[in-house]
Structure 1
Amino acid sequence: MSLYPERPAEPLFTERTPRVVSASKLLRVAGRRKAGRFLAEGANAAEAALAAGVVEELYATVDGAERYAAWLPATVALVTDRAMRGLSETVTPPGVVAVCRLLDAHDLPADVRLVAVPVDIADPGNAGTVIRVSDAVGADAVVLAGESVDPHNGKCVRSSAGSVFHLPLVRRRDAEAVVADLRARGLTVLATAADGEVSLDDADELLARPTAWLFGNEAHGLSRELQTLADHRVRIPIRGRAESLNLATAASICLYQSARVQARSDA
């Protein structure tokens, strides 16, 4: 029985079908830049992309189309399992992939109150997690500053669990200019630093203000130059024996604390 009886029977698209070949090139950053498109793999990402209205093409295996029939449109293109493997970066492809327009926002929204600014973030999994946490706490935007990973990278999109489609993503190479712009907008810029002069435990008065958090590179942290440009350097107290926190964990703690204090101030 046909999954979509209103559509005439047709052969499944294969890995040699021209549009599938073109879509597979989006797995590489050069292909994404040239086409202005990227792939959103998996149910969470594809469904969020559809809701955001950025989907150009949608592919599913027969099994995937049956599994996600509740939300997949009838216009989905059915592909062979082999073709789906060519569109996937995972060992076990989830059965659905969306081709989407790039998400780069040209500027921050007006009246932002909480912004996450990962600087020189290199790992796409960390980038996706920071975006997901920012979305979860209600941040207004994420600015990927400096030489940061492409947020359209497949691992980043998957790690965000669809959150890349929920809030503005801005990319800026000049991190110092980002800090200047944020301060010009009236945001208090806070830099995470292990030796920061302000403890996060004592920062509620600062966190009640419109705030932008700077998070440093996984290996090297924030440069001293950027720390100096921030309004305050904030440390997360570590009471156990751990030497430090990784980027995604530190960002989660700081963003949650900011969102908690801002929500309390608004009550």
Structure 2
Amino acid sequence: MDYFFIVNPVAGLGKGLKVWEKIENYLNKEKIKFDYKITEYPKHATEIAKDVVKKGYKVLISVGGDGTTREVADGIEDKDISLGIIPAGRGRDLPRTLKLPKNPLDALKLILKNSKSIEIDHPKVNDERFVNFCGVGLDAEVAKVANTKYKGFGTLSYLIAFLEVLIKWKVPEFVIEVEGKVRNIKAYLITIANGKFAGGGMQISPYSNMEDGLLDIVIFHNMTKLKLFFNFPRVYFGGTHMKLDVVEHIRTKDIKINFKENITTQADGDLVDGTTKHFKIDGKKIKVFVSENY
């Protein structure tokens, strides 16, 4: 079996390249046949993946963060192609859901063993696909600030950015449509989840199942900033925030969200423009390697 690696060298503040050097050394030492390409600009991983699939490769391996994996997945149209993930980003949220090893070499060995794989949903937001989750509102703004101002702080970057954004945040109004029912709500954030984790370890959607054909919508409705400040950290402790009366959970194949202002929206860490967002599951799947205890 031939393996093709798509490597984002700047993932994790340059960690991607360091991880790749270890992977490449191991592959050469073990005399394993492989090819690879280093990404050079945004969306390059998608272009590479599309080209590689045409050449007949059956295993594509993303070396980078969740954004890199999203781009590689975008280039896979054939569900006979298997996607491997070697985490090299800061957040590691998708690998957490898939229970992949933290150690890159262990993640590689799992793929080389051709171990367990599953077919996961590959949802859409407007005309773009995502793999793990989308955030609308506060959490998306926090991710944007963390990635632009506090990159060097690791997981702490999200906490620092959260405090900065919360102080200035005005709770926006949304119009949401689920299965034909339209509602007006005020909410700090709306998470549209395929996976369980977001923001570098927050178990924002603990009931998500990536194989069930449904999106899990988690809404933090309007509350005092003080209440949010004391309760939001519960997302790091087994998802106990889901018990709060101000948190709503919806499961659906399709949700439309409209808002007057251009509220920040992100899909697997990448910003998505526009004031109308249509999230849906349309039946497309991708095959990914997971841990044997998934």
Task: From the two aligned structures, give the one with the greater helix fraction.
Answer: 1
Task: From the two aligned structures, give the one with the greater strand fraction.
Answer: 2
Structure 1 length as normaliser, TM-score?
0.28
Structure 2 length as normaliser, TM-score?
0.26
Q: Which is greater in Rg?
A: 1
Bigger relative contact order, structure 1 or 2, given CA contacts below 8 A and separation 6+? 2
